[in-house]
Structure 1
Amino acid sequence: MILRTGQRVVFIGDSITDCGRRDTATPYGAGYVSLVRALVGARHPELDVEWINRGVSGDTVRDLAARWDDDAIAVRPDWLSVMIGINDIWRRYGDRPDDAVPIDEYERTLRDLLRRAVDATGCRLILGDPFLIETDRSDPQRADTDRYCAVVAALAAEFDAVHVPTQAAFDRVLAVSPAKRWADDRVHPHLPGHAVLADAFLAALGATATP
């Protein structure tokens, strides 16, 4: 387990991170953040860790940039978990293509935000991939998602961050189960889909199950 007592863990991202944390499921949301918090507590009860959710539904990296100082830097995280990119890609395939974020802008913006956070707070980073719950890798949105995932993996190496390969986690379950089990729209997971995400985060954190 890489977390230590007294540390503050901040999660920031889009609707997958938000998951009702600002209304029906305050303050942690009803998704993977809440599951990670609960399971780390259950598996490592000796740890006293503070958890903060700063996900906002609909966000792209542009939106993160607009609120970064208040929602990422000002809260002084010891660990900052960032999972962003789904909307940056998805908008290209919906009714808001002008709001899509090209991959070069995505990489440049995300790198700048991560550098600012590390320089300002000394935090360690946890970077989760964007994902699409889709088995056909030739599907245009899935192919784009894989390219953005490669950007996140490269940034994780650049910043010596903990990398959470969420797309690979979904690919493993999709190999033996239908996509509709995990999400209706390929993007917003049902609770079992959030459990897939939580498992991936727990593995990356080293939060092993009790024997």
Structure 2
Amino acid sequence: MAAHCLRHPQRGEGGATSRDIAGIVAADRATTGTDYDLAFLGCGINDVWRHFQGRTSEAVGLEEYTRHLNAMLDQLSGYTRKLVFVSETPFGPVEDPNTVTAMNAELARYNAAAHAAAAAHGALFLDVWAPFTAAARHLTGDPGALWSDGVHLTELGDTVLLQQTERLLAEHRIIEKLQDYPLLERHAALTAYGPMVARYRPSGS
């Protein structure tokens, strides 16, 4: 029986915009040279929020956002077996209703751009917008219970996100498929899989 270890990047950073995350992705590859089995990528809410906060130097416009997305997807798809882009959740009750409506209208444009970019790069797109909207609608006593401040998720919000992620993994049998590497001819196998085990080989005397 073979044991499998799925390699996946964990580089989340609170408050980061797509500009920041693009730098993280580029630096990770340059520093570690690691190939990944599974990668989740998501960004956009801070790009929009910074604009509405008046932090214009940190805000990222849609054109720049799309450029960063394509750069990251280009890079990650080159050494990641399965790539999933996670849409941003909508803004919850953070300010007056008109402001929230305007922020969500803008954020929806960013999610649409992310969906198109993911499709162009053969990545899966996990759309969590509708599930969060439905969950908030059903929480009639406290529609803001999914967010601690209208932006960051509460434990309940994390649970909704986790459920959607688990559903995607199950529907596409992602983990099962990633645990079964294709058989290759010997020389091709050495080239494809050699770097994955090189660090575990005993060094020569």
1:89 aligns with 2:60: no
Structure 2 CA distance for partners of 1:151 and 1:160, relative to 1, 3 Å:
same
- What does residue range 173-188 of structure 1 map to in structure 2 within 5 Å? 173-177=135-139, 178-188=142-152
Structure 2 counterpart of 1:127? 85
Q: Distance in 2 between matches of 1:58 and 1:123?
A: 28
Counterpart of 1:54 in 2: which secondary structure?
Answer: coil
Match of 2:5 in 1: 6
Answer yes or no: is the 8 Å Cα contact 1:61–1:106 preserved in 2.
Answer: yes
Note the alpha carbon deviations across 1:43-94, whole angstroms, 9 max, x for none: xxxxxxxxxx210111111111222233357332111110111111110111
Name the CA distance, whole Å, in 1 between partners of 2:91 and 2:103: 10
AA aligned to 2:26 is: D
Which has the higher relative contact order, 1 or 2, with Cα contacts under 8 A spaced 6 or more apart?
1
Structure 1 residue 202 corresponds to structure 2 residue 166: yes
Residue 113 of structure 2 aligns to a residue whose secondary structure is helix
Task: State, as a whole percentage, how many aligned pairs show the same letter.
Answer: 26
Choose which of 127, 140, 144 in structure 2 pairs with 1:165: 127
Give the conservation status (yes or no) of the 8 Å contact 1:179–1:186.
Answer: no
Structure 2 gap ranges (5+): 174-205
- Pairwise CA distance, 1:122: 4.2
Q: Normalized per residue, which structure has more strand? A: 1
Task: State the secondary structure of the residue aligned to 2:11.
Answer: strand
Moved more, 137-146 or 159-168: 137-146
- Normalising by structure 1, what TM-score? 0.69
State the Cα distance separating 1:118 from its structure 2 match. 1.7
- Which one of the candidate residues 113, 128, 141 is aligned to 1:151? 113
The residue aligned with 1:63 is 20
1:137-162 residue CA offsets vs partner (Å, 9 max, x unmatched) = 98110001111111111122112212
Q: Distance in 1 between matches of 2:85 and 2:7?
A: 16
* Residues 1:193 and 1:122: Cα distance change in structure 2 (over 3 Å): closer
Taking structure 2 as the reference length, the TM-score comes to 0.71
Instruction: Report the RMSD for the aligned CA atoms in angstroms.
Output: 2.4
C-alpha separation in 2, matches of 1:159 and 1:205:
19
